[in-house]
Chain A
Amino acid sequence: MSTIGISIKGITKHWGDVYALRNVSLEIEPGSFTTLLGPSGCGKTTLLRSLAGLEEPSTGELWIGERMVFGNGGAVFVPPKKRNLGLVFQSYALWPHMTVQENIAFGLKLQQIGTADIGRIVEENLATVGLTGYGHRYPSELSGGQQQRVSLARMLAVNPEVLLMDEPLSNLDAKLRVSLRAELKRIHKTTGLTVVYVTHDQIEAMSLSTHIAVMKEGQIHDFGEPDRVYQEPSTVFVADFMGNPQINLVPATVVEQNGGLVAQSRDKDWDVPVAGFDVAVGDSVIVGFRPEDTVVELSDTSPLKIDTVQKTGPDLLLTVLIDDEVVIARTDKNSGFAMDQNVTITIPPESINLFDPESERTISSSD
């Protein structure tokens, strides 16, 4: 298990007026698999490249383990090769004029490791990524998935303390992505390396990571364990970005009803109890709930109607309009719902998230 953690302290990176990173701080635990997640242009790759030393931040500090690798306004800058980390690129970045073996041996030669040892280490790492016997091939003779494994083996071979990965799976087809995901998880477990992983794919982030940092416009919106980030997102953006189909977001107003507080949609057709939240009568809120947490029941008296029904195989996806907002509910494939049926929509209290429409931040529950 790696003992090397990473501290990112107030990192800002800008080119003139264009800001890629705004005062980003993050503590990455030793041995964790931390994913920087966000849409393109959110700064996740810039942050990763800053860690690698391929970009130089404008201000802030970067620590890898006990060592400051960037800080004091640029007075401290450890060059990439002395940071002892590996980086796996989206494009694999295998040198096309070298065989698999030569690709992996390149870094080892630079470390002045003896020829005999190089052969052994190359073989070991090829075995780790399941490519024993492929050493003499050229990258162009391998499939995309195999190329990415070689790229991984090349970085593992130099025995880094931290492994950085920049969208390593996004050039692969869907099937291969799933199998390589499993492999990455296994390799993380066996090597115990601290991994920092960049992706825009929230499913990848959910399934691989021990921690997720969701980024937008150069800032970290949320940081935590995947379940927490998914269940209790800290901002509307995070809620919206995580999950497919997307979270339902319904604007509502807090009113008193039958002695308790409820959030009521503006056309008053729908409400949910919000007793446990830090809100008062008259507050505007956004009610967020996941499609799979949405309970749909037939009710002739309800003003809500099923708008469309989509089969996905395992599920039925229903859409219902609440106050012109499309709400998606995920129900069992045998639930038998049909278009134009009148239904009620209820949400278990623990699955409700409330957001402040102004700040778009989550409203904490009082308990």
Chain B
Amino acid sequence: MITDAVSTSTHRQVKFSWKVKRLLRRLRSAEGLVALFVVVVLVYFIVLPLVFIVYESLSVAVDDLRQIPGAKVGDLTLRHWIRTFTSWTRFFKPLLNTFLVGGGATLIITGMGLSLSWLVALTDVRFKRLIGVLCVLPYMMPSWAFAMAWTEVFQHQGVGRSTGFLAYYTGIEAPGWLVFGPLPIIIVSALHYFPFLYIMVKASLENIDSQLEESAELLGASRFLILKKITMPIVAPAILSAAVLAFSRVLGTFATPALLGTPARFTVLSTQIYSMTRFGRMSEAFSIALALIAFSATVIYVNNRLIGTRKSFATIGGKGTKQNLFRFGKARTVVGLGVVAVLSLLIVVPLLLLAYSSLMRNVGDWTFSNMSLHWWIGAGDPSLAEGESGILVNPAIWRGAFNTIRVALVAGILCGLFGLLIGYSVVRLRGTKVAYLIDSIGSVPIVVPSIAFGAVYLSLYAVPRPYLPMLYGTFLLLVFAAFAKRIPYTTRTGVSAMHQIGVELEEAATLMGAGLLLRFRKIIYPLARPGAIAGILLVVTTTVRELSLFILLMTPGNRVLTVQSLTYSEIGAQQLSNALMTFIIVLSLVLAGSVKALEIKNKRKGNA
């Protein structure tokens, strides 16, 4: 009896040790190690901050001690949620405004995006390439560039601003609702985000197998009927999906409503988060942030659930070439010219006016004699803008430019490399829960609006906390925030890069005795490098024009250009702000343009 019991227990122990051994072996395997590292990083940079804001929004803060007698800091309380979610001014009004802006902008985005993508993809209109460039241009610029241009055109002294272009030349003072408030926010947001829908819909229109349309034509369907019965149903999911995603983007946008809404006391959720954070009411800011995250997440979840899977049939059997174009015939040049003219008026002219206004020495005086390079290269003049010197001769601006590029580059490189590790673990562990987990967490920052992200990082690192470094005011904090917010970008580039690298390539090296590091260095990295670089460039170009993520994290010592531009605008140095904006736009366009050129070059090389 006794010996029996002993032997079973040792047997059990032995069996247990096998299991442990197996588990350890799996963890020590390449995928296991990489996945473990990836999960730890994701938890630290994404999950932890999210848990933190939920916790903060539900616990007693120092400021609450007076209101809640007997409470200690950190006690659980529903006070912030109740205060926030029962208040018309604090929550429901901004919420309503947010949806008003989002809905209105989405309508315009859909209209513009649809008609322009149809023109470029399915007709024989002239100047297609130029139209195409004009249609992606707004997306390469800071989101609030048009907002600044808008004010330059429409503002006047009647709304307490300097004289704008329109008022100066025509004497017409635009009504207040046209200068500030929901309407301009809707129009300006639409101008920035319509390229998003244009790009997605155009791609799916171009990818329709033209045989599908030709079959209908052979059966006697008219062109209109084909568009209605064949083309539209096939691309409808893509259109809907693009519209939904554009809507969720507008929901979280901050800079435009801040510039065009705040003067008219028009608040949306994102600007509400900003002002509450500024006033130090973090717990309530976080409550609103959670609501905004919940809205974006719901929108995207519904999109993935309802449309995501159906979307796939839009891209089946693409041929790339379209013979079956709608013909404008003789009108194709006229139509082309018209479209180019309208787009130029909407996109190019405002930006030129913005640049022009940066050349006006005295604000509101649009005459040629007032033109000067003062705001660009002039030495400080105590009578103008508190004596700030021109941006190109201001060492603070150069420090800001250096800082901007440094943040973008470091965050980009971190993201690019980390994206490879994400891609590696997701692709190698495909079908497992771990891969799903990594993929999901890696996409979470999409639904967290930048302004909320910035607020969280500010709060996490502004005061000393156990296990976390004190980073407020440091360069590293900007890098952390940019890195975490951009992880979804490189998740995508990393996963697609890894998909290209067959598992056999690595297994062959494993069989020959190459360890994990050697395989990464000699096999994986050289093959995935183009993907990594694509990820890095994507992060760099988008970080250079980022504002809402950084605005709360800024201290005077670590400014980036975008925030500086907004600061100038806030202290009334409009021309400086415009000059700096022009500078940022040029920088963004140059970066985006060279990335595009590099992509084209790579593609050619790949085809050769």
Interface of A with B (CB < 8 Å)? 52, 54, 56, 72-75, 77, 80-82, 85-87, 89, 91, 93-97, 106-107, 110-111, 154-155, 158
Contacts and interface: CB of A to CB of B under 8 A. Distances in A.
Interface stretch (B74-82, B143-151, B381-389, B507-515): B507-515
B21 A93 contact: no
Contact of A74 (B21, B509, B514): B21
B504 A75 contact: no
A154 B502 CA distance: 17
Interface string B466-496: 0000000000000000000000000000000
Contacts of B25: 56, 74, 77
B14 to A, nearest CB: 8
B523 interface: yes
Contacts of A158: 512
B510 A80 contact: yes
Contact of B513 (A72, A73, A74, A110): A110
Given A93-B504, A93-B505, A111-B513, A73 B15 contact: yes
Interface string B8-23: 0000001101110110
Contacts of A56: 22, 25
Contacts of A89: 504, 507-508
B527 A97 contact: yes
A80 B29 CA distance: 12
A93 B512 contact: no
B526 interface: yes
A72 B527 contact: no
B236 to A, nearest CB: 37
A225 to B, nearest CB: 29
A317 to B, nearest CB: 37
B327 interface: no
Contacts of B19: 74
Nearest to A86: B511
Nearest to A82: B513
A93 B513 contact: no
A80 B505 CA distance: 14
Contacts of B522: 106
A107 B15 contact: no
Contacts of A85: 511
Given A93-B502, A96-B527, A87 B511 contact: yes
B18 A73 contact: yes
Given A52-B511, A54-B511, A91-B502, 15 more contacts: A54-B507, A56-B22, A74-B18, A74-B19, A74-B21, A74-B25, A80-B511, A81-B512, A93-B502, A95-B527, A106-B509, A106-B514, A107-B513, A110-B512, A111-B513
Contacts of A93: 502, 504-505, 507-508
B10 to A, nearest CB: 14
B323 to A, nearest CB: 32
28 contacts: A54-B511, A56-B25, A72-B18, A73-B15, A74-B18, A74-B21, A74-B22, A74-B25, A75-B14, A75-B17, A75-B21, A77-B22, A80-B510, A80-B511, A81-B511, A89-B508, A93-B504, A94-B505, A95-B508, A95-B523, A97-B526, A106-B514, A107-B513, A110-B512, A110-B518, A111-B513, A154-B508, A155-B511
Of listed B19, B509, B527, residue having the most chain A CB within 10 A: B509
Nearest to A73: B18
Contacts of A91: 502, 504
A96 B529 CA distance: 13
Contacts of B15: 73
Contacts of B523: 95
B272 to A, nearest CB: 49
Given A75-B17, A75-B18, A106-B522, A87 B508 contact: yes
Nearest to A89: B504
A233 B314 CA distance: 49
A85 B22 CA distance: 23
In order of increasing CB-CB distance, the 6 nearest A-B pairs are A107-B512, A93-B504, A81-B513, A89-B504, A93-B508, A110-B513
A95 to B, nearest CB: 6
B529 to A, nearest CB: 9
A80 B511 CA distance: 5
Main secondary structure of the interface of A (DSSP, over half): mixed
Contacts of A86: 511
Contacts of B518: 110
Nearest to A154: B508
A243 to B, nearest CB: 31
Contacts of A107: 512-513
Nearest to B501: A96
A54 B22 contact: no
A86 B511 CA distance: 7
Interface string B596-607: 000000000000
Nearest to B17: A75
B510 A54 contact: yes
Contacts of B502: 91, 93
A20 B286 CA distance: 50
A158 B509 CA distance: 12
A8 B518 CA distance: 32
Interface in B1-48: 14-15, 17-19, 21-22, 25
Nearest to B510: A80
Nearest to B432: A15
Given A73-B15, A91-B502, A93-B508, A110 B527 contact: no
Nearest to B523: A95
Of listed A72, A77, A85, A106, residue having the most chain B CB within 10 A: A106
Contacts of A81: 510-514
A15 B413 CA distance: 38
A95 B512 contact: no
Nearest to B507: A54
Of listed B511, B514, B526, residue having the most chain A CB within 10 A: B511
A54 B31 CA distance: 12
Contacts of A110: 512-514, 518
Contacts of B514: 81, 106, 110
A165 to B, nearest CB: 13
A56 B26 CA distance: 10
Nearest to B28: A79
A95 B22 contact: no
A353 B509 CA distance: 47
Contacts of A96: 527
A155 B504 CA distance: 13
Nearest to B509: A106
Nearest to B526: A97
Contacts of B505: 93-95
Contacts of A75: 14, 17-18, 21
B11 to A, nearest CB: 11
B25 to A, nearest CB: 6
Nearest to B522: A106
Contacts of B22: 56, 74, 77
Nearest to A97: B526
Nearest to A108: B512
A54 B527 CA distance: 22
A93 B504 CA distance: 5
Nearest to B508: A93
Contacts of A82: 513
Nearest to B431: A15
Nearest to B19: A74
A156 B508 CA distance: 13
Contacts of B504: 89, 91, 93
Contact of B507 (A73, A74, A87): A87
Interface string B122-143: 0000000000000000000000
A95 B25 CA distance: 27
A136 B552 CA distance: 56
Contacts of A72: 18
A21 to B, nearest CB: 17
A82 B510 CA distance: 10
B506 to A, nearest CB: 9
A75 B11 CA distance: 13
Interface string B499-540: 000101101111111100010001100110000000000000
